[in-house]
Every structure is written in structure tokens, then in C-alpha cells.
Amino acid sequence: MPASADATAIGISADPSPTLMARIRDVGRLLNRAFPIIIVAVLILMIGLVAGRSGGTTAAAEVREGLTIGAVYALIAVGYTMVYGIIELINFAHGDVFTLSAFYAIFIAEFQPFGFNLNSLATSGPLGFFGALAILMPLTMIAAGLTGMLIERVAYRRLRTAPRLAPLITAVGVSFIIEGFLFATQGSTNVRTGKAGWLPGNAFTAGGVVVSWHDIFVFFSALVLMFLLQAFVRLTRLGKAMRATAQDRDAALLNGVNINRTISATFFIGSALAAAGGIIYSVKDDLVVWNLGFRFGIIAFTCAVLGGIGNIVGAGVGAFLIGLIQVFGGQLIGSAWDNAIIFAMLIIVLVVRPVGLLGMRVADRA
């Protein structure tokens, strides 16, 4: 592709008349440009179809559902996009770090040194909930962040200059190790996180759509965390180092950026956000299972690709879009096709607009 594209660009194409291939390429370019509009249009169409078929209330409830699941995806997708941005590796193990941290959170919340634990604190009232969250969130995020750093140190760092395939394969291996560990220690069935009662009650009912407190919590905590992350990457020294490393590792090194530390920090932050995702998912759905992260990981990666890999805001936008598409697609075709819809989406994005909605990277390197 690069060769032919360059050839047309500098006008040495042998055949000046528009061939079939050239027409296809033109259509492709058009689709590429119009892609953001197309995807929003398709989404609106889907919402309209659902509203027409099952009523506006159902559609609105599905929007709520899509946004909350999208919030979880967003927090995972950020980790993918940051790691990919900085070392161009699809960190397969990232989805499993999400699951692992949900189990960390179970462990921490059930730890009972002084006759009470975080679960009992959280259910004691709104103040208790925030208190429990203020303890649980940092602890789990640090644990997950350290796990992420460990994974990078053990499995990826040595392969940083190796052929691209090598770290990708170790990533798959690490993913299997984490899943295997959870499978061996936690069993093959769903595990209750015990956080179902953390945030009971409904906040409000608008037009027949019930919005519960944990919907609000899930959605807004994801937004807040994303904004904090964006601010961190934009405003701090370490964030600047990350951006520099992502742009040009060698140049960053020459300018005094400690590459290893920056990459470690990236893994720490990505994994910590996945841990936040794990906690809000636990509050939202209460059930986790050893291989949950596999599916969530791929979906989150799809979100990152849709938004434009390497782009934090893009990951958030992509995640909410994918959440909505998944929910409405499931409504229209049947929820058994959830996965197929999302992966088809991924393939379409990669074919039509590999750079994603907000991405600017050129995705044609081998």
C-alpha cells in the first residue's frame, strides 16, 4: 500500500484513466473522511429504530445502559491507548489487569482487621460510602498499578527492541497467566464482589427511565478520572515526558527524559485506571469471573482504535460510542450477537479509517 499510494501521490501512475481499483480507492477515501458522520448517523438510526419498535422509554433506558457500560470501557481503553501510544504494543494483559483489580478490590473490601470491613462501612450510609471509596480506590489502584509495572518490567522491557511480534506474544502469555491464576484460585464460576449494596436507591426518574445512584456514580467517576488523566498528561512534567516519549523515544532520551521510568509510569497509570474501572464495574454489576477481562479487553481495545489509538480523549469518545452501539445492536439483533457486532465494528473501523475518529497517527507501518 505505501508504494502504490506514493506512486499515485507523485503522479507516476501508469494508467491515467480511472480503473476499478482507483474507484474503490476513491470510495474508500470518501468513507474515511465521512466516517465520524456515518458512525453517528448509524447510531442515531439504531436509537430511532429501537425507539420506534419498543418505545422511547426503552430507548432512553438503553442509552443509560450504554453510557454506564461505556464508562467502564473508557477506563480500560485509556490504558490500552496510553501504552500503545508510548511503546506501540497492544497490551493484551490489560483487560486481565482489570479483572485482577476487581478481585483485589474484593480482597481489600473484605479485609477485616478491626472488626469491620469496607463493605460494612460502605453500606452504612452516603458518608460511609465515600469513606470506603476513599480507602478502597487508592489501595486498589496502587496495587493494580504496581502489577502493571511488574508486567512491563518482566515481560515487555527486555523485548523493547525485539521484533514486534515478540512482545505481543508475551502479552498474550501474560494474559493467560493472569487468567490462569484467577481460574486456579477463584474458580470458574461468577464471584460476587459484595459491592451490590454499596450505593442503593434511585436518584431520579425521568420520563419513566429510572436512573439509579450507581449509574450516576459510574458515569461521573469515569468522566472525572478521564479529566484528571487528561490534565495530568497535559500539565505535569511526567505527562510531558510521556507525550515526548510517545512522539519520539530517541529524541526524548536525548532531551533527558528517563525512558524506563516514563514507560513504567504509563503502565502504572493505565493499570490504576483499569482498577478504577474494576471497582466501578463491581459497584455496577456485582459479578466478576476469571475471564471477564478477555472480552472487556478486546472491547476496550476496539474503543481505543475507534477513538484513534494513542489519543486519550478519543478512547473516551470511542468507549461511549461502543457502549451505545453494543447495547442498541443487542436490542436490534439479539444480545447473543454482542461480540460479533463489536468485532465487526472493529474490522470496519480498521478497514475504513484505521486512524480512528480523533487519531492522527499514520497506521501503515509494518
Partner 1 sequence: MPEPTGDGLAVTDTAAPATEDPRADDDLAPPDELPVTASEAAREESSGGFTALVIAGLVFIVAGWLLPWFVEQTSNGIGYSAQDAVSSPPTGIGTIVVYLIAVAMVGLVAFALYDLVRGIAHRGRPLRWWRGRAALAILGAVGTLVVWLLIGVLREEPLFGNISSLAATDNAVWMTLTGFVVLALAYGLRPWVVTHGEVAFGGVVFMIGALMPFIFNQSSSFIEWGASAAAIYTLLALGLNIVVGFAGLLDLGYAAFFAIGAYTCGSLASPVHGLHFPFWIVIFIGLAVAALFGAVLGAPTLRLRGDYLAIVTLGFGEIIPDAANNNLFNATGGPEGITGIDHPSIFGFNFGIDAKFYFWSLLIIIAIVLVLLRNIQRSRLGRAWAAIREDEVAAAATGVNPVTTKLLAFSIGASISGLAGAFFGAELGSVTPDSFQFAVSVTVLSTVVLGGLGNNTGVAAGGILVSFIIFWMLDHLQEWMGTFGLKFGLPALGTIDYSRWVYIVYGAILVGIMLLRPAGLLPSRARKSELQAGGQTEALAVVQGRV
Q: Which x/- pattern over 338-357 shows residues binding partner 1 (rule: CB under 8 A)?
A: -xx-xxx-xx--xx--x---
Note whether 127 binds partner 1 by CB under 8 A: no
Q: Which is nearer to partner 1, 279 or 355 (CB)?
A: 355
Residue type, 313: V
Q: Which is nearer to partner 1, 53 or 158 (CB)?
A: 158
Element (H, E) at 209: strand 209-212
Q: What's the CA gap between 306 and 346, in Å, rounded?
A: 7
Note whether 306 binds partner 1 by CB under 8 A: no
- Taking only Cα atoms into account, the Rg of the chain, rounded to an integer number of angstroms, comes to 22
Q: Which is nearer to partner 1, 213 or 337 (CB)?
A: 337
CB of 138 to partner 1, least distance (A): 29
The region of 97-105, 106-114, 163-171, 310-318 touching partner 1 under the rule CB under 8 A is 163-171
Note whether 181 binds partner 1 by CB under 8 A: yes
Note whether 289 binds partner 1 by CB under 8 A: no
- Cβ atoms of 70 and 324 within 8 Å: the answer is yes
Q: What's the CA gap between 125 and 282, in Å, rounded?
A: 18
Binding residues for partner 1, total number by CB under 8 A: 53
Q: Supply 200's cell numbers.
A: 442503593
Note whether 3 binds partner 1 by CB under 8 A: yes
Note whether 336 binds partner 1 by CB under 8 A: yes
Note whether 53 binds partner 1 by CB under 8 A: no
Q: Which is nearer to partner 1, 154 or 206 (CB)?
A: 154
Note whether 88 binds partner 1 by CB under 8 A: yes
Note whether 82 binds partner 1 by CB under 8 A: no
Pick from 284, 281, 286: which is nearest to 300 by CA?
A: 281
The region of 126-134, 218-226, 293-301, 316-324 touching partner 1 under the rule CB under 8 A is 293-301
User: What is the DSSP track for 154-189?
Assistant: IIIGGGTTS-THHHHHHHHHHHHHHHHHHHHHH-SS
Note whether 248 binds partner 1 by CB under 8 A: no
Q: What residues pair up with 192 in beta bridges, in sequence order? A: 287
User: What is the DSSP track for 36-59?
Assistant: HHHHHHHHHHHHHHHHHHH-HHHH
Note whether 172 binds partner 1 by CB under 8 A: yes
Note whether 363 binds partner 1 by CB under 8 A: yes
- Cβ atoms of 57 and 256 within 8 Å: the answer is no
User: Alpha carbon of 324 to those of 304, 321, 327: distances in Å?
Assistant: 15, 5, 5
Per CB under 8 A, residues contacting partner 1 are: 1-3, 88-90, 154-155, 158-159, 162-170, 172-181, 183-184, 294, 298, 301-302, 305, 334, 336-337, 339-340, 342-344, 346-347, 350-351, 354, 363-366
